[in-house]
């Protein structure tokens, strides 16, 4: 009996209209081999005429595999937004679907993970997870877990991140190539990431300029910390600065301008993260990109490899950052380009 309710058509309705069983209809609609030309066409027509769409809950429930990847994200982060796009696209290409659950005031990471698991996803991609290594390992007991963008050592958990030290080194190389020799680093907040970036800076400057050229000033992750760092930049002749991230760089930029120093005329400036902020016409900041495209693809790949049994050992995917050159860097003053 075709459903008389005004609700959406059921698979049974399509099958009835096509004059076949629901089994055949199901096979056809998912492009599985089996049904012959006649049946196939009939089902397709019927489905189209009825405007049929499979009920996802029912499919998921009946299917062994769900082919669903659960992604947690900080809904406020533009970087996560970019990652989501890329993850979506990459998953699509591999026949997986994505369910995202945003971290909000009312839904902390634990709750988000639960929501994700409740929707039967087969793997978890956690963007910059705040969970402890132990919690992550625990989660990874029952399904693949990929930590994206956070350097964490948790057995069983795959990690996809960008080489922070290499990113800062790129910035140094760029500035040195422009002729700079007095390059300062405005440090970030204490933590793994700052440490990696700072040591990347140290090593690159030592190598390319000399051991005495290292000049790290305290800063932070926000504009005000960057602005505050500007006064510390006066102690030594500095023709360029690399900031911990774009927000910090923005503070530095603003502080410099208030001081009457022009960027990049008097001083060149490099940020980190390549946020939309950096791309704004009025800011136009040279910045190090974490290549969200690569990260998203790598994260999906890591999860799918595990799911399809192609790998059972942990992996850490270390991606190469890319320097995006914009208007905030140029040759140092009192010098001409070679």
Partner DNA sequence: CACACTTGTTAAAGCGCTTTAAGGATACCC
Partner DNA sequence: GGGTATCCTTAAAGCGCTTTAACAAGTGTG
Least separation in angstroms between residue 57's CB and DNA is 7
Q: Give the three-class secondary structure for 218.
A: coil
Q: Among residue numbers 209 through 238, which ones bind its own copies (CB under 8 A)?
A: 222-224, 227
The answer to whether residues 255 and 230 touch, using CB atoms and an 8 Å cutoff, is yes
Cα angle, residue 278 at apex, residues 273 and 283 outer, rounded to 5°: 155
Which of residues 31, 36, 211, 309 is near DNA by CB under 7 A? Answer: 36
Asked if 325 interacts with its own copies (CB under 8 A), we say: no
Contact range with its own copies by CB under 8 A, out of 15-23, 27-35, 151-159, 273-281: 273-281
* Per CB under 8 A, 108 contacts its own copies: no
Residues near 213 by beta carbon (within 8 Å), at least 6 away in sequence: 181, 182, 183, 205, 206
Cα 305 to the chain's mean position, in Å?
A: 19
Cα 54 from chain centre: 31
Say which DSSP state 209 is in. Answer: T
Q: Does 3 bind its own copies (CB under 8 A)?
A: no
Contact 289, 270 (CB under 8 A): no
Q: Which of 41, 45, 49, 58 binds DNA (CB under 7 A)?
A: 58
CA neighbor of 216 nearest in space, from 246, 252, 193, 241: 241
Instruction: Give CA–CA dist 108/105, Å, rounded.
Output: 7
309 lines the binding site for its own copies (CB under 8 A): no
Q: Mark the segment that binds DNA (CB under 7 A) among 61-69, 206-214, 217-225, 275-283.
A: 61-69
**Binding piece for DNA, criterion CB under 7 A, among 2-10, 134-142, 189-197, 238-246:** 2-10
Residues that bind DNA (CB under 7 A): 3, 7, 10-12, 19-24, 26-27, 29-30, 32, 34-36, 38-40, 52, 54-55, 58-59, 61-65
């Amino acid at each position: 009996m075709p459903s008389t309710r005004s609700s959406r058509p059921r698979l049974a309705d399509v099958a009835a209209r096509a004059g076949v069983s629901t089994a055949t209809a199901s096979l056809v609609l998912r492009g599985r081999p089996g049904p012959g030309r006649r049946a196939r066409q009939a089902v397709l027509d019927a489905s189209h005429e009825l405007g049929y769409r499979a009920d996802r809950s029912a499919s998921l429930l009946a299917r062994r595999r769900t082919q669903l990847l659960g992604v947690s994200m900080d809904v406020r982060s533009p970087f996560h937004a970019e990652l989501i796009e890329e993850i979506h696209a990459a998953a699509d290409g591999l026949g997986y679907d994505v369910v995202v659950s945003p971290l909000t005031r009312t839904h902390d990471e634990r709750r988000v993970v639960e929501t994700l698991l409740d929707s039967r996803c087969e793997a978890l991609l956690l963007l910059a997870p705040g969970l402890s290594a132990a919690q992550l390992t625990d989660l990874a007991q029952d399904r693949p877990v990929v930590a994206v963008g956070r350097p964490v050592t948790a057995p069983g958990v795959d990690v996809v991140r960008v080489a922070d030290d290499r990113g800062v080194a790129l910035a140094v190389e760029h500035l040195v190539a422009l002729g700079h020799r007095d390059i300062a680093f405005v440090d970030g907040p204490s933590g793994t990431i700052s440490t990696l970036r700072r040591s990347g800076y140290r090593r690159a400057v030592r190598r390319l300029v000399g051991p005495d050229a290292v000049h790290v000033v305290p800063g932070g992750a926000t504009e005000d910390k960057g602005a505050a760092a500007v006064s510390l930049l006066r102690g030594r002749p500095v023709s360029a600065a690399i900031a911990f991230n774009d927000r910090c760089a923005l503070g530095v930029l603003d502080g410099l301008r208030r001081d009457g120093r022009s960027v990049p005329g008097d001083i060149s400036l490099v940020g980190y993260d390549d946020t939309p902020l950096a791309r704004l016409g009025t800011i136009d900041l040279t910045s190090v990109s974490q290549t969200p495209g690569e990260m998203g693809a790598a994260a999906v790949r890591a999860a799918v490899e595990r799911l399809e049994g192609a790998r059972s050992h942990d992996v850490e995917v270390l991606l190469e950052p890319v320097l995006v050159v914009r208007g905030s860097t140029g040759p140092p003053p009192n010098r001409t380009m070679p």
